[in-house]
Amino acid sequence: DTAVSQTPKYLVTQMGNDKSIKCEQNLGHDTMYWYKQDSKKFLKIMFSYNNKELIINETVPNRFSPKSPDKAHLNLHINSLELGDSAVYFCASSQVSGKSGYTFGSGTRLTVV
């Protein structure tokens, strides 16, 4: 009964490929997020969706495209992967956008070779 589940857990792929990461939450939360954690452990927000609507889109290359088919799902598609995209990507959800505790998924470790 994982609250926020991400797949896959690990992803190793070559430069130039396109890949997707999926996220689902069963907490009934209204808001979902994608965060990127680099090798120095900095956690940086990428996107935020509230009830399927995009509300935050940080300065992220347009090779990254989030999609939220319903409020329980937020997927991340990445086109033309680059070496610098290697990081851990965390999905998270919360009840009230930015003002209540976030529940994080276990992360997807993306390695671009």
- For 23-64, give the secondary structure using H, E and C: EEECCCCCEEEEEEECCCCCEEEEEEEECCEEEEECCCCCCE
Nearer to other proteins, 86 or 104 (CB): 104
- Contact residues for other proteins, defined by CB under 8 A: 31, 35, 41-45, 48, 50, 55-56, 90, 92, 97-107
Nearer to other proteins, 1 or 14 (CB): 1
Q: Tell the smallest beta-carbon distance from residue 49 to other proteins (Å).
A: 11
The C-alpha atoms of residue 105 and residue 57 are separated, in whole angstroms, by 20
Q: Tell the smallest beta-carbon distance from residue 30 to other proteins (Å).
A: 11
Beta partners for residue 7, in sequence order: 22
The C-alpha atoms of residue 63 and residue 49 are separated, in whole angstroms, by 18
Nearer to other proteins, 14 or 59 (CB): 59
Q: Tell the smallest beta-carbon distance from residue 53 to other proteins (Å).
A: 11
Q: Which residue has the tokens 């609250």?
A: 3
Structure tokens at 14: 């070559």
Q: Tell the smallest beta-carbon distance from residue 55 to other proteins (Å).
A: 6
Nearer to other proteins, 81 or 90 (CB): 90
